Amino acid sequence: MPSFSASPAPCATGRRARPLDLQALFTLYDTARGAVGTLDGVTAILPSTPLFLYMDVRKEALPRRRLSATAGGS
């Protein structure tokens, strides 16, 4: 008696799903873990985490403010 072998189910578009590239996924995962670990290490030596975050948000906001002032002035 032959054994049962199910074929992969099609995805919603009717095409077969691509197999996961686990090596690429683990590479991205390791990179993300390293970045989070670096951030955790930096926040451990900061005197004030809220001050660091405020400076980072302010650094991002200043160019946008200049851009909107330039666009609004024309």
Which pLDDT score, from 0 to 100, does residue 25 have? 93
C-alpha distances out from residue 29 to 11, 50, 59, Å: 25, 27, 28
pLDDT tier at 14, thresholds 50, 70, 90: low
Give the integer Cα–Cα distance in Å for 68 and 74: 10
pTM of the model: 0.41
Average pLDDT of the residues of the chain? 77
Sequence-distant (6+) residues with CB within 8 A of 52 are 43, 46
Q: What pLDDT is recorded for position 57?
A: 80
Give the residue, 35 or 51, on which the prediction is more confident.
Answer: 35
Rounded-to-integer distance, Cα 44 and Cα 61, Å = 25
Q: What is the pLDDT of residue 33?
A: 95
